[in-house]
């Protein structure tokens, strides 16, 4: 009788722990750390599925609440490929192709800065692949984008400036 009660108690404890763990992994996103910005990544993010890449720095995504979310990467500028009345700029296709290869049909995490939307209704965001990898910075580091500050969104400006300097020194892509 005692062993049956003990076994029932252990099974109940395992079930409770399992339920709590399942709730934790489903309700606390991969970057939530008490609301404070950690040195290793963003503090708050929104998970979005990338449905389409428009060009190197513009995406179309969706989440549980919204479809056709237009997203513009903050702090950078890739050469133009689809801007009306503008020729395709050098390394624009490479930047666009790289973004398509890395982001199409994948889940990413958007981090916003002081201004979350531009005058065209696009969400302005830092795009994180995981809690330590920001896509905006990768584009700059690979010489596929320039650092471009648009006030007031400058949270990672220094990081982008450093990445751009490295790309220039290494004569990568737009800096070749």
pLDDT digits (tens, 9 = 90+) for 8-19: 556 545 555 544
Alpha helices, DSSP H, located in 66-156? 92-103, 135-141
pLDDT (tens digit per residue) in 81-135: 777 777 767 788 999 999 999 999 999 999 999 999 999 999 999 999 999 999 9
| CB contact at 8 A, 43 and 33 | yes
The 3-state DSSP class for residue 83 equals coil
Give the residue, 113 or 22, on which the prediction is more confident.
Answer: 113
Q: For the chain, give the number of residues.
A: 176
Rounded Cα distance between 75 and 164, Å, is 11
The 3-state DSSP class for residue 97 equals helix
Query: What does the block give as tokens for 79?
Result: 């050469």
Rounded Cα distance between 56 and 40, Å, is 25
Instruction: Give the CA dihedral 75, 115, 64, 29, nearest 10 degrees.
Output: 70
Q: For the whole model, what pTM was predicted? A: 0.74
Residues classed as catalytic: 72, 80, 122
Alpha helices, DSSP H, located in 28-156? 92-103, 135-141
Q: Give the rounded percent of residues in the chain with a pLDDT score beyond 90.
A: 66
Residue 164 has pLDDT above 80, yes or no: yes
């Amino acid at each position: 009788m005692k062993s049956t009660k003990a076994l029932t108690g252990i099974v109940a404890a395992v079930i409770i722990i399992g339920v709590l763990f399942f709730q934790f992994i489903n309700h606390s996103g991969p970057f939530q750390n008490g609301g404070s910005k950690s040195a290793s990544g963003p503090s708050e993010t929104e998970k979005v599925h990338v449905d389409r890449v428009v060009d190197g720095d513009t995406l179309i995504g969706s989440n549980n609440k919204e479809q056709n979310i237009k997203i513009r990467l903050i702090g950078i500028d890739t050469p133009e490929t689809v801007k009306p009345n503008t020729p395709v700029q050098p390394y624009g296709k490479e930047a666009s192709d790289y973004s398509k290869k890395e982001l199409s049909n994948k889940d990413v995490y958007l981090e916003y800065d002081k201004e979350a939307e531009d005058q065209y209704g696009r969400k302005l965001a830092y795009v994180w692949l995981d809690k330590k990898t920001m896509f905006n910075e990768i584009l700059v580091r690979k010489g596929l984008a320039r650092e471009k500050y648009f006030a007031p969104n400058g949270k990672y400006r220094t990081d982008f400036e450093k990445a751009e300097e490295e790309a220039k020194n290494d004569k990568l892509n737009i800096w070749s």
